[in-house]
Structure 1
Amino acid sequence: MSQLRELLLAHIGYSAWATRRVLEACSPLTEEQLGRNCGASHSSLLQTFRHSHDGEKVWLRRLVEVDNDRLPRGSAPEHSFESLVQSWPELWEGYRRWLEAASEDDLTFELSTILPDDADFRVPRWQIVLHAVNHSSFHRGQIITMLRGFGVQPPNTDLTAYYATH
């Protein structure tokens, strides 16, 4: 297995582990708490989870469907917290399966996409995987801050904690 594929698989594994831990920490919260506007970039815990989940979903679709030159635009569905908990493992498994089957050429193949400002952007697939992981890490940090605001001790989602346990 190539070092690049191993690295990407490790980071997808980390992201799944960390998100699972944060979802578990949020599971005792009420619907009101999950939906409360906390002043974060996506307002609430639930909105932030939705944004992160849907970002992972769109990028996975983009990896798998190479012939789709443009990412779909429009509103994402309004997932419930429970539906996110149920569907997220399918996304993580999709990334894992795609990475395990991908050749070195697949990983370095550049996709053309359109950025939110309508600029064309070419990006190698391996960078898309790292972007998805980084994007989720960023928003997990926001969720952890919101959890602290509710008096909840957040889980340790640091990469070194993942390495120490895996």
Structure 2
Amino acid sequence: MNNHLESMLGYHSWANRTILERISELPESILAEEVNSSYPTIAHALSHIHAVDQMWLLVLQESAMPEAMQNCMPLNSRVLDSVDEYADLFAGLSGEYEEWFRSQHDLEQPLLLDNPYAGVREIRRSDILMHVVNHGTYHRGNISTMLRQLGHASVMTDYAMFWYQEPVTAV
């Protein structure tokens, strides 16, 4: 990957797959087990990551933020029954981001963002992409903590681990 933002999106997809693979090794009930954390269950945390990723993709595709938020709010509270369902959901969204990314020529192009909670401001598309990755990293950390609270080890999803997923090339 020769573009830093492309690499970051690749990392985000990889990290989501990696945490989902770890969860799939555990009893199926793990998704719905309640914990005292940012979200009541791992399924709720996964649904939140997906809903926010979907909302930001709509914004990047030129939907107004209030409309994008309204469209994605139901996704935030919709919990799925299996890790496979989440894996399919995240894989589909990752493909949509990749398709959008390939169609872009200037990620530094400003976008007028009308955030109902914070007001109107001009923001670059590249900043939105970095936020999507950062937001996912934050909540995968929540999920790691939730797994530990439930008595299970998590898995490393650090960006540095992602570097080693590609074959080494001669310098």
- TM-score, structure 2 as length reference: 0.83
Task: Say which is worse superposed, 110-119 or 52-61, in terms of deviation.
Answer: 110-119
- Three-state SS of the structure 1 residue aligned to 2:74 is coil
Partner of 1:18: 15
Task: Say which is worse superposed, 45-54 or 116-125, in terms of deviation.
Answer: 116-125
Report how far residue 32 of structure 1 moved: 4.0
Identity of aligned residues (%): 26
Q: Which has the higher contact order (CA 8 A, sep 6+)?
A: 1
Report how far residue 165 of structure 1 moved: 2.1
Report how far residue 124 of structure 1 moved: 0.9
Match of 1:42 among 32, 39, 43: 39
- Counterpart AA for 1:87: L
Uncovered stretches (5+) of structure 1, i.e. residues with no partner: none
- Three-state SS of the structure 2 residue aligned to 1:138 is helix
- Three-state SS of the structure 2 residue aligned to 1:108 is coil
Report how far residue 59 of structure 1 moved: 0.7
**Any residues of structure 2 matched to 1:1-166 within 5 Å, and which?**
6-30=3-27, 32-64=29-61, 66=62, 68=64, 70=66, 71-73=68-70, 75-77=73-75, 78-80=78-80, 81=82, 82-104=84-106, 107-117=107-117, 119-166=119-166
Taking a change above 3 Å as real, the CA distance of residues 38 and 28 of structure 1, as seen in their structure-2 partners, is: same
- Counterpart AA for 1:68: A
- Three-state SS of the structure 2 residue aligned to 1:114 is strand
Uncovered stretches (5+) of structure 2, i.e. residues with no partner: 167-171
- TM-score, structure 1 as length reference: 0.85
CA distance in structure 1 between the partners assigned to 2:119 and 2:79 by the alignment: 29
CA distance in structure 2 between the partners assigned to 1:40 and 1:157 by the alignment: 20
Over the aligned positions, Cα root-mean-square deviation in angstroms equals 2.1
Is contact 1:36–1:45 with CA below 8 Å preserved after alignment?
yes
CA distance in structure 2 between the partners assigned to 1:115 and 1:69 by the alignment: 6
Is contact 1:11–1:133 with CA below 8 Å preserved after alignment?
yes
Partner of 2:169: none
